[in-house]
Amino acid sequence: MKRLLLLFVLLFSINFYSQPLSMPVLWLKASWDDFSVYGLQNHLLTYRYGNSSVATLDNVNGYKALYFDNEGKKENYFSFRLDSLSNSSSVLILIAYQPFIHTFSQGIPEYGLWTFYGKDTIALTSVRYGKHSKSFLYQYRNYPGAIITSNLLSVDTEKGSLSTLLLGYADSMFFHGKLAEFIVVKDYLNNRQRQIWQSYLALKYGSTLYKSDYVDSKGDTLWRYLDNKEYSEGVGGIGRDDLLGLNQNVSTIAGDIVTVSYYNADNEYQSAKTKFSDGEYILWGHSNGEASLGQTLFPIGETSYYLFDRIWKIRRNNKRNHLIDLQINSAINHKLKIFISRSSDFLSWETKVLNPSLLGEYMAKFEGLNIEDSVLYFTFGYDRATADSLLFANNKGGDNNNSYPTTPINNIFTEVSYLPNPVKDNLYVNYKLTRRATVWFSLHNSTGTTLYRTAPELKSAGSTQKIIPMGQLIDGTYVLYIHVDNMILSRVIIKQNF
């Protein structure tokens, strides 16, 4: 039966000696394969689902995800019996999901996994499950994109173990959103195992872990937070881990503007074609600077450049060189360049300055970049002449030596506020122009797709307001570009249903 869902149920833990990892008793993930269930021996698992809409597929970072559109439809759910949890002292549960409905009680989000006092049920719903229930699995502070989180649940063996898992519906409470992957590990050994599974989910679904190391299935550290603290935003990776079934060649991190892929991967997120060897990874993170030009002039070779305030650090964990493609998803000019260096200040004579291989209206792709060092830094920018024409007004500012212009965009587009941010429905952009100018706005998602665009308007000097409708958008990070004559300003906007 075609359901485009793959459900793994592994009935055992394996002692890997050098690979300190216990395998799940329940492992649910959406994939390209037929709907299949393995390991029904001893009635470990029974499942049921209602109408076919429960298996409607969406995606998270290019991977298939179950989409639950539970507008009061009780049939959209899965029900599992977890008999294998009997006689367990504890259970480690991990989940990758993206809720579309956010409800709060006294400032605390209520979506997530819930247990019910006096019952042996776990439920994933968008609102509180039961009057006397408590949440044990949600992440209050989370980056854009899928929520990657885990919790250790103690099992009261005297009252019986938790034996029922409901995904999508429980006691007239429904889940509305995407479910990418769900993992249950019985009697896990240590916190390192939790890090391994969390790292796997975060790298796969493009969601940054908060102040955390990234660890592979062998227990080796791929990305140490303390060593990369200044570049701990937008952490992502591509690579291969055979034990976890991960062969990832492309990734776009939620909230960032770059897509990194193995050279000529052709958007094969999880491909049967081997690009990496088992255990090989390339990870990156950024400095959390603005993804727009700064005001510092960098002399590189015989040319001076203005670079982005955001700097990315990229590292590989193996000795083999890899070629990658790197794409920036943003409104750009055709003269955009990428800068790659062994030093984060880009002042080294070895800094490479490269032109894009492919150009689109809202993307530039740099192909065949050689990750020849274990650690490199990259950013984007323009030469001085191009930057001046893009970001600064042509007026009487600047001196006769063509020094850094004195009238940047923020001297014309002033007294700006973006409220509210995070935004639920409408974003109100209040600003004041110091002179007459043509102004227009464009809103883009994390992959650079244009979601909203206004027509250019010739505005007189003075204060005004622009309303950007965002109520129809899903939760996540968006980039608002403000175009003033031939200048561009960007602002990150968080969409969140409160």
pLDDT digits (tens, 9 = 90+) for 208-265: 888 899 999 999 999 999 999 999 999 999 999 999 989 889 998 877 889 999 887 7
Residue 280 has pLDDT above 90, yes or no: yes
Q: Which fold has domain 6-205?
A: Jelly Rolls (2.60.120)
When pLDDT is cut at 50, 70 and 90, the band that residue 105 belongs to is: very low
Q: Check residues 271 and 331 and name the one with the higher pLDDT.
A: 331
Q: Tell me phi and psi for residue 169, to 5 degrees.
A: -160, 140
- Residue 282 burial class via C-beta count within 10 angstroms: exposed 0-12, middle 13-18, buried 19 and up: buried
Residue 199 has pLDDT above 90, yes or no: yes
Residue 397 has pLDDT above 70, yes or no: no
Residue 130 has pLDDT above 80, yes or no: no
Percent share of the chain, pLDDT over 90 = 20
Written as six digits, the tokens of 199 are 């790292």
Q: Check residues 369 and 116 and name the one with the higher pLDDT.
A: 369
- Residues contacting residue 454 through CB under 8 Å, at least 6 positions apart: 440, 441, 442, 466
Residue 399 has pLDDT above 60, yes or no: no
Q: What is the mean pLDDT of residues 376-391?
A: 83
- Residue 20 burial class via C-beta count within 10 angstroms: exposed 0-12, middle 13-18, buried 19 and up: middle
- Residue 290 burial class via C-beta count within 10 angstroms: exposed 0-12, middle 13-18, buried 19 and up: middle
Q: Tell me phi and psi for residue 248, to 5 degrees.
A: -100, 125
Q: What is the mean pLDDT of residues 93-107?
A: 63
Q: What is the mean pLDDT of residues 57-76?
A: 68
pLDDT at residue 490 in the model: 78
Question: Which ranges of 370-482 would DSSP assign to H, the alpha helix?
Answer: 384-391
Q: Specify whether the CB–CB gap between 219 and 108 falls below 8 A.
A: no
Dihedral sign from CA coordinates of 61, 66, 70, 71:
positive
Q: Tell me phi and psi for residue 460, to 5 degrees.
A: -80, 165
pTM value > 0.75: no
Q: Check residues 403 and 428 and name the one with the higher pLDDT.
A: 428
Q: Which residues pair with 7 in a beta bridge?
A: 28, 37
Residue in the structure block whose two tokens are 């408590």 = 134
Written as six digits, the tokens of 414 are 């002033």
Residue 81 has pLDDT above 80, yes or no: no
Q: What is the mean pLDDT of residues 403-414?
A: 62
d(CA 349, CA 303) in angstroms, rounded, equals: 12
One of 3.40.50.300, 2.60.40.1080, 2.60.40.2550, 3.40.630.30 is the CATH number of 399-495, namely: 2.60.40.2550
> 205-230 burial, b for 16+ CB within 10 Å, e for fewer?
bbbbbeebbbbbbebeebbebeebee
Q: Specify whether the CB–CB gap between 493 and 480 falls below 8 A.
A: yes
Q: What is the mean pLDDT of residues 324-342?
A: 85
Q: What is the mean pLDDT of residues 339-354?
A: 88
Q: What is the mean pLDDT of residues 336-357?
A: 89
Q: What is the mean pLDDT of the chain?
A: 74
Give the largest CA-CA distance in the chain.
85
pLDDT at residue 304 in the model: 86
